[in-house]
Amino acid sequence: MMVRNGISKKESTWRYDTAGKERPVSQYNHPVVHVSWNDAVAYCEWLSAKEGKTYRLPTEAEWEYACRAGSKISTPFNTGGNLTTAQANYNGNSPYGRNSKGQYRGTTVAVNSFAPNAWELYNMHGNVWEWCSDWYGEKYYEECKAQGVVENPQGASGGSHRVLRGGSWSSYAESCRSAYRNSVTPGLRNGLVGFRLVFVP
pLDDT, one tens digit per residue, over 151-165 is 677 777 778 999 999
Question: What digits encode the pLDDT tens for the residues 8-41?
Answer: 555 688 889 898 899 999 999 999 999 999 999 9
3-state secondary structure of 73: coil
Q: Report residue 179 CA to chain centroid gap.
A: 12
E-strand spans in the chain?
A: 54-56, 129-135, 162-165, 182-184, 193-194, 198-200
Give mean pLDDT, residues 139-150. Answer: 72
Q: What is the dihedral of CA 171, 34, 116, 75, to 10 degrees?
A: 40
Write down the pTM of the prediction: 0.90
Measure the CA–CA gap between 92 and 103, rounded to whole angstroms: 5
Conformational region of residue 177, where left means phi above 0, alpha means psi within -120 to 50, and beta covers everything else = beta
Check whether domain 8-201 has CATH 3.90.1580.10, yes or no: yes
Query: For the chain, what are the domain ranges?
Result: 8-201
